Structure 1
Amino acid sequence: MMRTIVVLALLTGACTLGPEPTKPDPRVGLSTPYANAADPSAANRLLPGDPGDRPEWWRTLRDPVLDRVIADALAGNLDLEIARARLAQARAQRRIAGAEGQPTVSASGRATRQRISENGIPIGGGGSQGGGQQPDQGGQPGQGGVGGGGQGAGGSPFSGLPGSTFEQYQVGFDASWELDLFGEARRGRQAAGARVEAAELAVADIRTSLAGELVRDYAAIREAQARLAVARANLDAARRTASITRERDRAGLATGLDVARAEAAVRGIAAAAPALEVQVRQGAQRLAVLSGREPGALLTLLETPRPAPLAPRTAALGLPSELLRRRPDIRQAERNLAAATYDVGGAVADLYPSFTINGSAGFQSTAPGSLFDWASRFFSLSGNLLAPLLDGGRRRGTVALRRAQVDEALARYRQTVLAAFQDVEDAVVAFDRDQDRLAEREAELAERERAVRIAREQDRAGLVTLAEVLDAERDRFAAADAAAAARGAVLADWAALQKALGGGWVPPPEPAYTEKH
């Protein structure tokens, strides 16, 4: 028997059932450049080179306030805290799975004192050494049979006469080992390991998304502040114009219509400022909450106007095939698929018999002084075989369930890849076209400023009316507002592109896969 047990132990782990994970097919073109990057107009802005691994890509903007906001958020964001807690749970589950298929050993000790009822049935009588015996001279009962009678009364293997009292002492070890003959425990460990990797990638995905959102929200705040500065300058100019118009009206050089138009311009411009102030405050409050702080924590820091950082005019894209390595959400979906594949192997292994080795050893005596004598030793060793015969189809249903979960995980992987490619394409076209829009807005602003200078010169010479000057100034401020909005849009587009490309973390090495044959 011992030889059989040893042979089975040596075979443990020699057979692992179920499929091995293989590199999934994303079903998208990976060798050609991005569609929007192939546009000749984008050739000078979107570069084919590898974007590289830039964990802190936002530092390219050289804005210390933004750096501080992002550092605070990466340390205190509650979504990141939740993801880290889930990672700790996944690691604990991996430890639990690692214990499956390993021997378990426990120690025990027991001391009992027992009296036999004078009116009951005597203990013993059915053991291999005969029935109960008279107590010895030390007042302890003699050892009886270790048989049905002895075990039946209170679990004691000793016997005695009615009314007798005796003690029993025992220390020992119990061990159990379920041999992983078909790889069920190994598949569980592999699945748990893949889920730990997926949880690590989930943390990276949140970090990447968070950095992109922070830069975009920060850009919106600075854009609103720039537009607010334009609106206030416009308001001051409109008030001066209204004052001049009233003086001219008193001097008979302007009409009531001119005064009404000037006053209406003041009211219209003043009405735009509160909406921009709301954007600044709400943006600051959102950044504070993203940092895990109360909404008003960053108002003092962010309400102070500061020029918006200038976005780089170019961006390196790399090839679509590199996106599968760089995007943490794609890598996370791939590891979830691997875990589901390992689960299939565990379910298949459960269809086969299980073999368990049980053993116990220790010392047992009726007197403490002789407990550790060699003659007090006992041991047992057994092997148990459990083969499933009828379970109503539960195990095979579990296998079918696990295979369907693999199909779902594969579909989710492909969906994640497509969504990632869409993110890049959307960011590319926005980054490219918004730069064209910004260039036109800046050129328009330059022309509007020139038109204001000409209108003022002609107004002093009496060649144009005051209404024409007001129109030129209004057009200039509208162009300045549009240019500020365009600058903010380009910065937000650049941040969205960095996020879409998977910036903000260092991709780990890709896992090795079993080749298909």
Structure 2
Amino acid sequence: MNRTIMLLPLLTLAACATGPRYAEPTPITALARPYANAPLPAAIAEGALERWWIQLGDPTLDALVADTLARNLDLDAARARLRRARAQRGVTRAAGLPTLDGTGAAQRQQTGSGSAKLNLGEAGGGGAGGSTDTLGIDDIPGSAFELYQASFDASWEVDLFGANRARTRAEDARVAAAGFDIEDVRTSLAAEVARDYLVVREVQARLAVLDRNLAIARRTQALAREQERAGLVTEADTARTDAQVLGIEAQIPQLRMQETQAAQRLAVLAAREPAALRDTLSPVRPIPASATVATGMPSELLLRRPDIRRAERELAAATHSEAGAVRDLYPSLSLNASYGGIRTGGLLEWASTLFSLGANLTAPIFDGGRRRAEVERQRANVDEALARYRSAVLGAFREVEDGLVASTRNRERLVLAERTVERRRRARTVLEEQYRAGLVGLLDLLTAERDLAEAETLTANARAQVTVDWIGLQKALGGGWRVVPAVEREKGA
């Protein structure tokens, strides 16, 4: 009864949870309105974001993304971080459970054998001529015995105020954050593969434009030389056509270098040697055309973007860690028990058992402010994690808005560029006919050819940029992963 009365205040304190409680933060921005630059907040069909790249309709890109997600080394590192987080959670959780240790020892001892002499006194009365006699006892036998000892020790630090429970919750949140980190890496990888693939196809499209313009320039060069031989143009005019051909040829090595570098980046992303994909990417394919984008509502980003979910779980972990630090300011109670026995053999045989049971109550009195400083450190971690979470949310909204603006403006640019190509191609055809008829000079024709080459190059660039914008918008919307229940995520990689 007395023990219960003594422990009652402590148990009452333990019943009152101490430290901060976690509540999911509210972003410092409006979430209910649609995106400012989206025509309509179209809903996103289930599964449409998980493999968004297949909407581009390019089997080579599909294979590259699948290969990269299966082999990428950054993903392997992210999976290792998840395993490490799970192991750390096991360590923290085990700290709140009882421990049981067993010990055992065995010894054998031997006493040595020898001889002794016994003094029997002086023979014959011990006179001056007498002598002293001794009795020798040889070969006193030795003795041996064994000593055995075994014990079991149990201890348990009672989590009175929930410090270990709070730390376990923090590790649970870190495990979830590591899972979202994997999804964030997957999302970034898919977008990076798609962008590098677009570089390859854009360069190939520009090379095709250069090949066509080079053929036209060489035809113009041959025509100028014919007219020079006929005395219709001067040598200076022919030199201009030579410079036109050389200028086009000079652009080809730079583009070839860009194509090779992009192909090598794709190979390394898939953990292959740099030259592994050259044959795969060498067949020329058109630039993939982007599809429409279903933006959804801004509030959906909180569930779709893995970096936001990771930041939220990191905030939860920091909050629970602060709660654990606060609860370390309170007393701790530990229980311990021990049971063991000793047995000897040989000359002396006997057995004994040992048993003990106790409790220790430890209250922090003075530690130089260490515990208070740890609370303040954890509180600063919470403030930092909250700022990172809010920054991640605002950054995500900005990325979507920027992507929508860029997509709209670059689509307008593409339409204008295609119209420009049509006009300049027509102008070049007319000027070639007039040049053959001697109605215009060679300079007019060369200018028309240069204008057409520039327009076709800009069109290829605009077409690729529209698809790049679409890829960036898919990434900004959280494409490349799906929202999975926590239990299912725990069973994953």
Provide the C-alpha distance between the structure 2 equivalents of 1:282 and 1:305, rounded to a whole number of angstroms.
16
Q: What's the counterpart of residue 64 of structure 1?
A: 59
Which structure shows the higher strand fraction? 2
Does the 8 A contact of 1:326 with 1:501 survive in 2?
A: yes
Q: Deviations over 1:165-220 (max 9, x none)?
A: 64321233211111111101101110111000011111111111111111111111
Give 3-state SS (helix, strand or coil) of 2:379's partner. Answer: helix
2:286 matches 1:281? no
The aligned amino acid for 1:439 is V
Matches within 5 A, 1:162-241: 166-241=145-220
The aligned amino acid for 1:84 is R
2:327 pairs with 319, 325, 349, which one?
349
1:164–1:187 distance in 2 versus 1, CA, 3 Å: farther
2:284 matches 1:290? no
Deviation at 1:294, TM superposition (A): 2.1
1:117–1:11 distance in 2 versus 1, CA, 3 Å: farther
Does the 8 A contact of 1:235 with 1:269 survive in 2?
A: yes
Does the 8 A contact of 2:177 with 2:309 survive in 1?
A: yes
The aligned amino acid for 2:64 is V
Matches within 5 A, 1:98-113: 98-113=93-108
Give 3-state SS (helix, strand or coil) of 1:178's partner. Answer: strand
1:502–1:209 distance in 2 versus 1, CA, 3 Å: same
Provide the C-alpha distance between the structure 2 equivalents of 1:15 and 1:381, rounded to a whole number of angstroms.
28
1:407–1:80 distance in 2 versus 1, CA, 3 Å: same
Moved more, 303-312 or 221-230: 303-312
1:400–1:115 distance in 2 versus 1, CA, 3 Å: farther
Give 3-state SS (helix, strand or coil) of 1:383's partner. Answer: strand
Provide the C-alpha distance between the structure 2 equivalents of 1:263 and 1:418, rounded to a whole number of angstroms.
55
Q: What's the counterpart of residue 432 of structure 2?
A: 456
Q: Deviations over 1:51-102 (max 9, x none)?
A: 6542111011121111121112112222212111111110110111110110
Deviation at 1:472, TM superposition (A): 2.5
Deviation at 1:296, TM superposition (A): 1.7
Provide the C-alpha distance between the structure 2 equivalents of 1:237 and 1:108, rounded to a whole number of angstroms.
92
Q: Deviations over 1:337-394 (max 9, x none)?
A: 00000011111111111111111223332139x99x9x75432211111111111111
Does the 8 A contact of 2:177 with 2:313 survive in 1?
A: yes
Which structure 1 segments of 5+ residues have no match?
A: 38-42, 119-162, 512-517
Does the 8 A contact of 1:15 with 1:183 survive in 2?
A: no
Q: Deviations over 1:219-265 (max 9, x none)?
A: 11100110011111111211111011101110122222321211111
Provide the C-alpha distance between the structure 1 equivalents of 2:69 and 2:484, rounded to a whole number of angstroms.
20
Deviation at 1:3, TM superposition (A): 7.9
Matches within 5 A, 1:86-97: 86-97=81-92
Does the 8 A contact of 2:341 with 2:352 survive in 1?
A: yes
Q: Deviations over 1:98-124 (max 9, x none)?
A: 101100112222112346899xxxxxx
Give 3-state SS (helix, strand or coil) of 1:32's partner. Answer: coil
Q: Deviations over 1:111-166 (max 9, x none)?
A: 12346899xxxxxxxxxxxxxxxxxxxxxxxxxxxxxxxxxxxxxxxxxxxx9864
Identity of aligned residues (%): 53
Deviation at 1:504, TM superposition (A): 0.4
Q: What's the counterpart of residue 483 of structure 2?
A: 507
Does the 8 A contact of 2:35 with 2:41 survive in 1?
A: no
Q: What's the counterpart of residue 338 of structure 2?
A: 360
Give 3-state SS (helix, strand or coil) of 1:366's partner. Answer: strand
Matches within 5 A, 1:380-399: 380-399=356-375
Provide the C-alpha distance between the structure 2 equivalents of 1:259 and 1:217, rounded to a whole number of angstroms.
40
The aligned amino acid for 2:44 is D
Provide the C-alpha distance between the structure 2 equivalents of 1:3 and 1:437, rounded to a whole number of angstroms.
83
Does the 8 A contact of 2:34 with 2:41 survive in 1?
A: no
Provide the C-alpha distance between the structure 2 equivalents of 1:304 and 1:66, rounded to a whole number of angstroms.
13
Aligned residues: 455
Give 3-state SS (helix, strand or coil) of 2:272's partner. Answer: coil
Does the 8 A contact of 1:51 with 1:317 survive in 2?
A: no
Provide the C-alpha distance between the structure 2 equivalents of 1:361 and 1:3, rounded to a whole number of angstroms.
23
Length-normalised TM-score, structure 1:
0.82
Which structure 2 segments of 5+ residues have no match?
A: 114-141, 488-493
Matches within 5 A, 1:221-370: 221-312=200-291, 314-367=292-345
The aligned amino acid for 2:234 is T
Provide the C-alpha distance between the structure 1 equivalents of 2:232 and 2:258, rounded to a whole number of angstroms.
41
Provide the C-alpha distance between the structure 2 equivalents of 1:245 and 1:2, rounded to a whole number of angstroms.
116
1:343–1:12 distance in 2 versus 1, CA, 3 Å: same
Give 3-state SS (helix, strand or coil) of 1:380's partner. Answer: strand
Deviation at 1:474, TM superposition (A): 2.7
Provide the C-alpha distance between the structure 1 equivalents of 2:165 and 2:284, rounded to a whole number of angstroms.
59
1:2–1:187 distance in 2 versus 1, CA, 3 Å: farther
Q: Deviations over 1:15-58 (max 9, x none)?
A: 54211211112211211222232xxxxx3xx6533365421110
2:79 matches 1:84? yes
1:425–1:275 distance in 2 versus 1, CA, 3 Å: same
Moved more, 427-436 or 377-386: 377-386
Provide the C-alpha distance between the structure 2 equivalents of 1:510 and 1:32, rounded to a whole number of angstroms.
29
The aligned amino acid for 1:48 is A
Length-normalised TM-score, structure 2:
0.86
Provide the C-alpha distance between the structure 2 equivalents of 1:13 and 1:222, rounded to a whole number of angstroms.
66
In the TM superposition, structure 1's runs of 4+ consecutive aligned residues that sit over 6 Å from their partners are: 7-13, 115-118
Does the 8 A contact of 1:348 with 1:399 survive in 2?
A: yes
The aligned amino acid for 1:76 is R
Q: Deviations over 1:317-353 (max 9, x none)?
A: 1111111111111111110000000011111111111
Q: What's the counterpart of residue 29 of structure 2?
A: 28
Provide the C-alpha distance between the structure 1 equivalents of 2:106 and 2:477, rounded to a whole number of angstroms.
68
1:280–1:76 distance in 2 versus 1, CA, 3 Å: same
Deviation at 1:449, TM superposition (A): 2.0
Give 3-state SS (helix, strand or coil) of 1:436's partner. Answer: helix
Give 3-state SS (helix, strand or coil) of 1:305's partner. Answer: coil
